[in-house]
Amino acid sequence: MIRATKLLEAVAVSFDLSKIRKYELDLSNGIVRADGPEDHGRLMDALDMLLKVKQATRSAPPAPAPQPPQGEPVESLGIRPATQHGLTLLELLDKYLLLKQVKPATVTALRNTCKEFTTFFQSKCYIADILVSDITRYQEFMAGKGNVPRTIDGKVGYIKTLLNFAIKQGYLTGKNPAENMSLLTKQQKLTGGYAIFELDEIKAIFDSEYFRKQKESDPDYY
């Protein structure tokens, strides 16, 4: 816009605009007016050139439609990004914690799970890129570290909760890849009792900001 303004200023200074000849052209009614036969001839030449350009444009082959990337389409996997990448899992967690009231121990568990999954994902972990197969591989990864099914279901449950939040808030469209991925049925969870905490989970809970404050304000509770 700045360049156009400068150009207009230069034209106004260099040319006497009152002497510029103007053509009247009404293509819908076929009306063409010019000042004298010489100008009329120039106008006809310009129209002829314009017609050739239009014909060349019409005869040109249409631009090829963009081809989807190799592999399974994103839409068929039940998840489509609202933007090219959207939010990462950790960015989504920050938005979730901003709008939800979450207990301090749950905040710690959510953050640890998101960090672990992001490291496992081996990339920036955009939520739109998470597939069902990634959740399956994450389950296998945790099982390989000795986590019991209840612990695995708990961590996958955190991811499912965050992705459901993303869908509800419009950050993500389509199906939740962590939906229906529980290893234990509800009956098994009710009758199976509770597994003991892993050492790293205990350390993470007691090292959270909430519990560090309790250590000073309420040592007995800590």
Q: Are 81 and 166 in contact (CB under 8 A)?
A: no
Total domains in the chain come to 2
Residue 74 lies in a domain: no
Cα separation, 10 vs 18, in Å, equals 15
Residues 46 and 92 in one domain: no
pTM (global) more than 0.85? no
Among candidate residues 5, 36, 51, the one where a domain is terminated: 51
Q: Strand 31-33 relative to strand 172-174: parallel, antiparallel, unpaired?
A: unpaired
According to the model, what pLDDT value does residue 74 have?
44
Residues 106 and 26 in one domain: no
Mean pLDDT estimate for the chain: 80
Residue 62 lies in a domain: no
Map residue 33 onto helix, strand or coil: strand
Residue 70 lies in a domain: no
Residues 131 and 204 in one domain: yes
Residues 26 and 100 in one domain: no
Residues 128 and 211 in one domain: yes
Domain that holds residue 181: 79-217
Residues 29 and 131 in one domain: no
According to the model, what pLDDT value does residue 45 have?
77
According to the model, what pLDDT value does residue 22 have?
66
Residue 1 lies in a domain: no
Residues 101 and 199 in one domain: yes
Structure tokens at 190: 């009710």
> Residues with Cβ < 8 Å from 85, sequence gap 6 or more?
124, 126, 128, 129
Residue 68 lies in a domain: no
Residue 204 lies in a domain: yes
> Residues with Cβ < 8 Å from 206, sequence gap 6 or more?
222
Residues 138 and 29 in one domain: no
Burial environment of residue 145 by CB neighbours within 10 A (0 to 12, 13 to 18, 19 or more): exposed
Find the CATH number of the domain harbouring 197. 1.10.150.130
Among candidate residues 51, 69, 90, the one where a domain is terminated: 51
DSSP characters for 68-136? PPSSS-TGGGTEEESSSS--BHHHHHHHHHHHS---HHHHHHHHHHHHHHHHHHTS--BGGG--HHHHH
Q: Name the strand (E) or helix (H) holding 15.
A: none
Among candidate residues 5, 31, 51, the one where a domain is terminated: 51
Q: Name the strand (E) or helix (H) holding 170.
A: none
Residues 142 and 102 in one domain: yes
Overall average pLDDT of the 165-179 stretch: 94
Residue 65 lies in a domain: no
Residues 41 and 116 in one domain: no
Cα separation, 110 vs 133, in Å, equals 21
Residues 196 and 160 in one domain: yes
- pLDDT, one tens digit per residue, over 49-95 is 777 776 776 666 656 655 555 544 444 444 444 445 689 999 999 99
Residues 41 and 131 in one domain: no
Cα separation, 28 vs 26, in Å, equals 6
Residue 124 lies in a domain: yes
Residue that wins the pLDDT comparison between 200 and 84: 200
